[in-house]
Amino acid sequence: MKALIFAAGLGTRLKPITDTLPKALVPVGGKPLLYHVAQKLKKAGVEEVTINVHHFADDIIDYVHGQDDFGMKVTFSDERDLLRETGGGIRHAAGSLKGEPFIIHNVDILSDLDINWFVSQSDPGALVNLLVSERTTQRYFLFNDDMDMVGWTNVATGEVRTPFPDLDLSRCRKLAFAGFHYVSGDIFKVFDEDSWPERFPIVDFYVQECARHRIHGVCVSGLRMVDVGKIDTLAVAEDFLKTL
């Protein structure tokens, strides 16, 4: 199994730590975030990992090599020339990810997710499977009765984005994205066929393409996770690691 770790971000919400350190190497429980994510993927049976890099890229590369590549085959998707956001980051990593499905994991997410369970619950006929839950938030993916994505909404602003002009919102399930994607290798054909640019958010892709390709939701209950995106979540993450 293959995986892509998003590690190219600037980590602006973790300033001033990230003024001198990439987010991927911010320590939690005495180890960098990247270490925890890589070990979780390895435990799940991932053998090949692609890590996209931009901010302090050399520091990340040197750290990974110093860890003997975590005992996996590691490839770096270099975005030092342009930070491509999530969608562009996936597309830029095509060289090492084409040909088979792969997991996407953010470097700043810690969770108790059983990745193999997620894969086993995913629909092999879908272009993408998204892990979602029923937690309360402001932004939701919208799904039909078959758990196929039909749009996105921000309930705080009332914004709705969908490629289906006659969509009945009252019949949609509103579910929160839980940060994990399981992606078919065919996604790279869609990027090329529909002329997606170098830089774009993956949510924009999902909203537009769900009219032509199946974006399936896998709903998880009882998931515990911490988004280590801000200074005040570091202590929460420290405590969370002790419970795993």
Tell me the CA distances in angstroms from 37 to 29, 128, 179, 194, one per residue in order: 13, 21, 13, 32
Find the radius of gyration of the CA atoms of the chain: 18
In the predicted model, is pLDDT for residue 11 greater than 90?
no
Q: In the prediction, which pLDDT does 42 show?
A: 98
In the predicted model, is pLDDT for residue 47 greater than 90?
yes
Q: In the prediction, which pLDDT does 12 show?
A: 85
CA distance 76 to 123: 28
Structural contact between residues 59 and 32, judged by C-beta atoms closer than 8 angstroms: no
Q: Go through 114-133 and write b for each residue having 16 or more CB atoms within 10 A of its CB, e for each that does not.
A: ebeebbeebbeebbbbbbbb
Burial class (CB in 10 A: 0-12, 13-18, 19+), 146: exposed
Each residue of 185-206: pLDDT tens digit? 999 999 999 889 999 999 999 9
In the predicted model, is pLDDT for residue 90 greater than 90?
yes
Q: In the prediction, which pLDDT does 184 show?
A: 97
Cα–Cα nearest to 77, from 64, 94, 65, 63: 94
DSSP state at residue 175: E
Mean pLDDT of 1-11: 94
Q: In the prediction, which pLDDT does 93 show?
A: 97
Say which residue the tokens 């996936």 belong to: 90
In the predicted model, is pLDDT for residue 99 greater than 90?
no
Each residue of 108-164: pLDDT tens digit? 999 999 999 999 999 999 999 999 999 999 999 999 999 999 999 999 999 999 999
Q: In the prediction, which pLDDT does 194 show?
A: 87
Which domains, from first to last, does the chain contain? Answer: 1-112+229-244 (3.90.550.10), 124-178+185-223 (no CATH)
Each residue of 67-85: pLDDT tens digit? 999 999 999 999 999 999 9
In the predicted model, is pLDDT for residue 244 greater than 90?
no
Global pTM?
0.94
- Model confidence band, residue 49 (pLDDT cutoffs 50, 70, 90): very high
